[in-house]
Amino acid sequence: MRLSKARKACVTTMMKDTIFEAASSLLEQHGSDALTMNQVATKVGFATASLYNYFQDKDDLLHFCYSRLVEPCLQAIEEAAGTDLPATQKLERILRTALEHAAKHKGLLKLMAGMDYDSKIRRDTRPRLLQILTTIFQRGIKEGSFRPHDPTHTGRMFLGCLLEVFDLQASGASNQDVSSFAETLIDATLNGFSMSPESGEASQDLSNS
3-class secondary structure, 195: coil
3-class secondary structure, 148: coil
Predicted local confidence at residue 26, as pLDDT: 85
Predicted local confidence at residue 25, as pLDDT: 85
CATH 3.40.50.1110 describes domain 1-55: no
Report residues of the chain scoring pLDDT below 70: 1-3, 107, 110-121, 196-209
Same fold for the domain at 1-55 and the one at 58-195?
A: no
Beta-carbon contacts of residue 41 (< 8 Å; ≥ 6 apart): 47, 48, 50, 51
In this prediction the pTM is 0.74
In the chain, where the domains are located: 1-55, 58-195
The number of helices, as runs of H, and strands, as runs of E, in the chain is: 10, 0
Q: Which of 3.40.50.300, 1.20.810.10, 3.40.50.2300, 1.10.357.10 is the CATH number of 58-195?
A: 1.10.357.10
Predicted local confidence at residue 30, as pLDDT: 77
